[in-house]
Structure 1
Amino acid sequence: MEPVVKKQQQFFNTGKTLDISFRKKQLRKLKNILKDNEAKIYEALDKDFRKPMFESYATELLVLYQEIDHLLTNIDRWAKTKKVKSSIINFPSKSYIKPQPYGVVLVIAPWNYPVQLALNPALGAIAAGNTVILKPSEHAPHTSGLLAKLINNNFDPGFLRVVEGDAETTQSLLSEPLGYIFFTGSTHVGKIIMQSAANQLTPLTLELGGKSPAIIDQSANLTLAAKRIAWGKFINAGQTCVSPDYVYVHTSVHTQLCRLIQQEIRSFYGDDPSQSDDYARIINDKHFNRLTNIIEPENVFHGGNTDPNTRYIEPTIMTQVTWDDAVMQEEIFGPILPILSFDDLDKIIATLQNKSKPLALYLFSTNNKNQKKVTRNLQFGGGCINDTVAHLGNIELPFGGIGNSGFGTYHGKTSFNTFTHPKSIMKKSNWLDISLRYPPYDGKLKWLKKLTKFL
């Protein structure tokens, strides 16, 4: 990977990416390439895990189009040098902050949204004036190959380059001098990425995952809660980092909620979801086997059917589940929804405070007191009240995790900020030089104290 990174370093050193018009041109070019190749993108996603065309557009392409448009509208303002107040102790001087790109950015993308989660951070890096090396996931080979073809055939490799390969390729890239690393994936791999970055003190963002809960109290609109939970959980066959991993519902409405979610599954996908064109498949045999092993037949309220030949797992509801069960030991990342019950919201808050901080949390409640209590006392990356997943649709909301679910944010302006170093500069005048700061200091301390009283 040495020549790949070196070529990008050389391109960055030419200063071309510092030109805002250059950045805009590349963003527009990328949008046009995506639009011209939408059919090929749908085909690749279908081959990798039978992703429905509607979901492919809504969760992959539309998100990117909106992000590009937002960046194009605001990049001039965000990239401007900003004047700030100077301190009296530095009089006479002027101070300002100049947004500065990091240089060569490595984006390591996951397989579950292999177009959007590859290109979305890359867009922010481009807008901020960096060059980008993009490493898509080898677990979505058709999409990875298409991205490589579309990008590498249309952009200068010194500016934007897709590098395909496995974990060894990623490790090789990480061993090179980089300006910034952006990783989306599992917590386990995130720790490995961070260790590699630490060896060279490379700044990074980790977008990880975790067990994101949905909490439903007795005041919730259960019909809407069931529909929105079923949508958020089973879109992309549950292979979404912010999907509701499990549900905590008040005991008084537990059975009712289970039945309502069951109804929504049938409404969405019919009596046999394996025949639905709107339901995706599991990405590979490894994940299929992992998921089927955590389905306990005696706990299945709905679903549970699987087909290894097509990597199909029916949307599944599990009840009578505890934290000791296999399904609660790690992030599910598939179409299996455990539903637990509670009597006391305060006890659930106390329980979740002792768990890893999730990437998302969803509360269904019309009780303002409960809304404030949950959002104030629980730490999580982001989330919704009375909905799931939809907060990602607001480009003004930063997206990112906390603790084991990652750190750093992006989307919209936060993407620009993530890939930008705020370079601080003070310009001192030569017409006056106050001698107070210079040695010898005898008799000067009292004057320094008097002066700083006015600061």
Structure 2
Amino acid sequence: MSAAAEAYARLSAGDARRRIEFTLQKRRAVLKRLAAEIRAREAEIMAALAADLGKPAVEVRISEIIPILSEIRHSARHLKAWARVRRVRPTLSMIGTRATIRPEPKGTVLIIAPWNYPLCLALGPLVSAIAAGNAAVVKPSEMAPATSALIAKIVAACLPADLVAVVEGGIETSTDLLAQPFDHIFFTGSPAVGKVVMAAAAKTLASVTLELGGKSPVLLGPDADLKKAARMVAWGKFANAGQTCIAPDHVFVPRAQQDAFAKALRAEIARMYGANPQTSRSFARLIGAKHFERLRAMVSEAVGQGAQVIAGGDAEAASRYLAPTVLSNVPETASLMREEIFGPVLPVIAYDDLDTVLAGIEAGEKPLALYVFARDRALISRVCRATTSGAVGVNVTLAHFLHLNLPFGGVGNSGLGAAHGHWGFQAFSHEKPVLENRFAVLDPLMPPYGTLATRLARIVQALVG
């Protein structure tokens, strides 16, 4: 039996008992132990992420540790309300019945995490799965091996073996896991792999949550504060060396403001990372050689087709360093404009007509995030109405990920379902309806159908129709 099959069998064997015995108090206790273990291993976490991604310690705290601890605190605080049995009012034809909705755990679930935020995007969904009362198998990314090994250590140290299992490995391990009849699969990664996950889930009819990605555009209105926009775009794009699913992918700027925005953007890059970002302690590295070569080839292709590098462009293969890079005049045929970039490379696109830009955004795949910078409320509303995206950030980037009272998820090519807070709890729960007959008048509507049934059916139809 493979490690994947063994982990599934061991955890799923306790589903029936867990449904009864895994009380809210016990769930909170498990989450509390996880939080304590994360706090105790902060130094190890920072070292692992430095090894895998060259991630600065402060960035680890902001983007990996704080989101998990916040998710735990928020879930523990609201768990009683989320899990309560809710009574719903009867509809007209159901007078005489009592109806309730009872959230219950789906059972044994699978969480497949990506490499870009390897700790947060593995343990964040796990918090929601535990809060909802499930057992979970976690598959960390093999592309972040130091963090993957640490996740296994954290789970083994503080969580019951019959509740959570970590299965490490590569594509073969993921394939073995997807062949198991999990009750729910939570996947974070690319749209291409998301389709593979969804196809595998269809074989066992498992429900899925897909947190994917796409080309998240930024749109500057004519009245945008260019300095503030440049600061937000630089932060959103170059944090984690651009390896963020909701990072700005490209920027649309009014043609008359293109040069001024470029100047402001260069200034913000220098302010954040210094004159030489390669020596900055605040700038991360790319995950691997393959990803480095892909991005460098995309930049070279665009320049060969007439694009201009207006910031950055420096690269060093040995350390997987690619400077914060900004390009203008990037042709639409370039791969930078066709593929999700997922790195510290930012095309800036001048526009003359806002409607043309909005039509182009809506004609493409639906992005995970869309960002608009403007003061004009009518323009902001117009952008929201004219486009479809997983989320919209107004005069801000990235921060909606941290807002636990908002759902986080995509639409279409950028994802299916939502996570975080109550939405994460719901993703791992089945909302079971329970209908109780108290004094409903149903007998006259049963066969054999006579005159009374005919009259009653007509009366009910008239009342409801």
Bucket of the pairwise TM-score, normalised by the shorter protein: over 0.9
Give the superposition deviation at 1:435: 2.3
* Alignment-derived partner of residue 312 in structure 2: 303
How many equivalent pairs are there?
Answer: 454
Q: Matches of 2:234 and 2:289 in 1, distance apart? A: 24
Q: What CA distance in whole angstroms lies between the structure 2 residues aligned with 1:219 and 1:422? A: 46
Letter in 1 for 2:7: V
Query: By how many angstroms is 1:451 displaced?
Result: 3.4
CA gap 1:91/1:371 in 2 versus in 1, 3 angstroms = closer
Partner Cα separation in structure 2 for residue 325 and residue 118 of structure 1: 33
Match of 2:268 in 1: 264
Residue 438 (structure 1) aligned with residue 441 (structure 2): no
Of all paired residues, the percent bearing the same amino acid is 38
Aligned-partner residue type, residue 11 of structure 2: Q
2:377 matches 1:373: no
Select which of 352, 355, 363 maps to 1:346: 355
Residue identity in the other structure for 1:5: Y
Say if 2:149 is the partner of 1:145: yes
Q: Note closer, same or farther for the CA distance 1:440–1:333 as it changes in structure 2 (3 Å cut).
A: same
Q: In structure 1, what residue type is equivalent to 2:358? A: I
Amino acid paired to 1:43: A
1:17/1:135 CA distance change after superposition, 3 Å: farther
Contact 1:90 1:428 in 2 (8 A): no
Please say if residues 237 and 281 of structure 1, whose CA atoms lie closer than 8 Å, have aligned partners that are also in contact.
yes
Instruction: Name the stretch that deviates more: 91-100 or 314-323.
Output: 91-100
Of 12, 17, 27, the match for 1:14: 17
Partners of 1:17 and 1:7 in 2: CA distance: 17
Deviation string 1:128-163 (CA, Å, 9 cap, x unpaired) is 111111000000000000101111233222201111
Secondary structure, aligned partner of 2:182: coil
Are residues 329 and 28 of structure 1, via their aligned partners in 2, closer, same or farther at CA, if it must alter by over 3 Å? same
Q: Structure 1 residue 91: deviation in Å? A: 4.7
Q: Describe how 1:50-65 pairs up with structure 2 within 5 A.
A: 50-65=54-69
Question: In structure 2, what is the equivalent of residue 180 of structure 1?
Answer: 184
In structure 2, what is the Cα distance between the partners aligned to 1:227 and 1:12? 49
Tell me how far apart the structure 2 counterparts of residues 89 and 222 of structure 1 sit (CA, whole Å).
Answer: 58
1:239 to 238, 243, 262: 243
Query: 1:32 matched to which residue of 2?
Result: 36
Cα distance change of structure 1 residues 199 and 256 upon mapping to structure 2, 3 Å threshold: same
Matching of residue 427 in structure 1 with residue 436 in structure 2: yes
Q: Give the SS at the match of 1:317.
A: strand
Query: How much does 1:87 deviate?
Result: 4.2
Per-residue Cα deviation, 1:356-395 (whole angstroms, up to 9, x for no partner): 1100000011112211110111000002111111111211
Matched, 1:274 2:278: yes
SS in structure 2 at match of 1:396:
coil
Query: Which consecutive unaligned segments of at least 5 residues does structure 2 have?
Result: none
Residues in 2 aligned to 1:222 and 1:397: alpha-carbon distance in whole angstroms: 27
**Contact 1:207 1:401 (8 Å CA) reproduced:** yes
Mark the CA change 1:182 to 1:17 in structure 2 (over 3 Å): closer, same or farther.
farther
* Match for residue 447 of structure 1 among 426, 433, 456: 456
CA gap of 1:340–1:22, structure 2 versus 1, over 3 A, is: same
Distance change in 2, residues 1:393/1:154 (3 Å) = closer
- Identify the match of residue 205 of structure 2 among 180, 201, 208: 201
Q: What is the TM-score with the length of structure 1 in the denominator?
A: 0.97
Cα separation, 2, equivalents of 1:140 and 1:357: 28
In structure 1, stretches of 5+ residues that fail to align are none
SS at match of 2:51: helix
8 A Cα contact 1:98 1:425, kept in partner: yes
Shift of 1:453: 3.6
In structure 1, the residue matched to 2:118 is: 114
- Judged with a 3 Å threshold, the aligned counterparts in structure 2 of structure 1 residues 428 and 53 are, in CA distance, closer, same or farther, namely same
Q: Distance in 1 between matches of 2:341 and 2:126?
A: 27
CA contact (8 A) 1:185 1:209 kept: yes
CA distance 1:434–1:187, change in 2 (3 Å): closer
Candidates 319, 328, 337, aligned match of 2:328: 319
1:289-324, Cα deviation, whole Å (9 max, x unpaired)? 100001134521111110000000000001111221
Instruction: State how far apart, in whole Å, the 2-side matches of 1:421 and 1:432 are.
Output: 27
More moved, 12-21 vs 187-196? 12-21
- 1:224 aligned partner: 228
Once the 2 structures are TM-superposed, how far is the Cα of residue 17 of structure 1 from its aligned partner?
A: 5.6
SS of equivalent residue, structure 2 residue 14: helix
Pair 1:261–1:446, CA change in 2 (3 A):
same
TM-score (norm 2): 0.95
Letter in 1 for 2:450: D
Amino acid at match of 1:437: L
After TM superposition, give the deviation of residue 86 of structure 1 in Å. Answer: 2.8
Distance in 1 of aligned mates of 2:21 and 2:311: 54
What letter matches 2:390 in structure 1?
A: G
Indicate if the aligned counterparts of 1:17 and 1:130 stay in contact, CA closer than 8 A. Answer: no
Secondary structure (helix, strand or coil) at the match of 1:14 reads helix
